[in-house]
Amino acid sequence: MRALLRRDLRLALRTGGGAGLGLAFFLIVVMLIPFGIGPDTALLARVAPGVLWVAALLACLLSLDRLFQADAEDGSLDILALSPLPLEGVVLIKALAHWLTTGLPLVLAAPVLAIALNLPESGYLWLIASLAAGTPALSALGAFAASLTVGLRRGGLLLSLLVLPLYIPTLIFGARCASLAANGNDALPAFLILAGLSLGTLAVTPFAAAAALRSQLR
C-alpha cells in the first residue's frame, strides 16, 4: 500500500500535467471572476464561497481521467489486480494520492484567493474547513467515475458528465457552509452534513470502483 502511494505521488510530481496543473487552473479560474464581474466588492464577497467551490470542483476534474487509465494502458492494472493488494485498497490509495496532489493544494490556496474575492473575515476558517472536509469526497467520487470510464479511449469528457452531478451535494453544503460563516451565521450544521457526506462517500466508493474495475478488466 505504501509503495503504491509513494509511486503515485512520485508519478504525479514527475509527469507534466500532474499535480501543478489543477492548482494553476484553480488560480486562473478564480482570478478571472473579478475581471468578469467587475470591481463590485459587495457582489464579489457574496459570490466568493460559491465561486471558490465551483472552481475547486473543476480543478479536481482535470487529472481524474488518467487516474486508472494510465495504469490500464501500460498493463499495470492487470498486474495490480493479481497482486496481494485488494482492489478496494488500490482505489482508496489512488484516491488519496489524487487528493494529496490536487485537493490539498486547493485547500491551501483557497484562503489566498479569497482575499482577491473580498471574502468577509469570518468566512476564512469555515472556507478552509469546508474544503478540507469536502475535497476528499471529490477525489473518491472521481475515482469511482474514473473506474467506470477506464476502458474508453477518450473517457475524459464522459467522466466529467458522470461525475459533476455526483458532486452537487458536496458543492451545496460546502459552499453553504462557507457563505453562512461569511454572513456571520452558524456554519456548523452545514459543515456536519458535509462531513457526513464525505465520510459516507469514502466508505462506499472504494467498493463500487473496485467492482467497476473488475468488470472492466474482462
Partner 1 sequence: MELKVTNLSCNRGGRAVLGGLSFSLAAGQVMLLRGPNGVGKSTLLRALAGLVPCTGQIALDARQLGAEDWADQIAYAGHLDAIKPQLSLAENLEFWAGAYGGNAQKALVAFDLMPLANRLAGACSAGQKRRLGLARLALSARTLWLLDEPSTALDSAATALLAAQIIAHSQAGGMALIATHTDLPLAADTLTLSAPTQPEDDPFLDGAFS
Give the footprint of partner 1 on this chain (CB under 8 A).
2-4, 6-7, 10-11, 14-15, 73-76, 78-85, 217-218
- For the bound state, the minimum distance from the C-beta of residue 103 to partner 1, rounded and expressed in Å, comes to 22
3-state secondary structure 66-92: HHHHHHHHCCHHHHHHHCCCCHHHHHH
Nearer to partner 1, 39 or 153 (CB): 153
Buried-exposed string 3-14: b where 16+ CB fall within 10 A, e elsewhere = ebeeebbebbee
| Cβ-defined contacts of 159-164 (< 8 Å, 24+) | 159/61, 159/64, 159/65, 160/61, 163/61, 163/64, 164/57, 164/61
- Please name which of 117, 118, 124, 166 lies closest in space to residue 142, comparing C-alpha atoms: 166
Q: What count of other Cβ atoms lies within 10 Å of the Cβ of residue 25? A: 19
**H-state helical runs in the chain:** 2-14, 19-37, 41-62, 66-73, 76-82, 87-98, 104-116, 124-148, 156-166, 168-182, 188-217
Q: Which is nearer to partner 1, 65 or 114 (CB)?
A: 65
- Residue 3 or 42 having the CB closest to partner 1: 3
Q: How near is the Cβ of 148 to partner 1 at its closest, in Å?
A: 19
Q: CB of 62: closest distance to partner 1 in angstroms? A: 18
Nearest alpha carbon to residue 61 among 166, 194, 217: 166
Q: How far is the CB of 83 from partner 1 (least distance, A)?
A: 4
d(Cα 215, Cα 6) in Å, to the nearest integer?
27
From the CB of 89, what's the least distance to partner 1, in Å?
Answer: 10
Least distance CB 80 / partner 1 (angstroms): 7
Which one, 14 or 153, has the nearer CB to partner 1?
Answer: 14
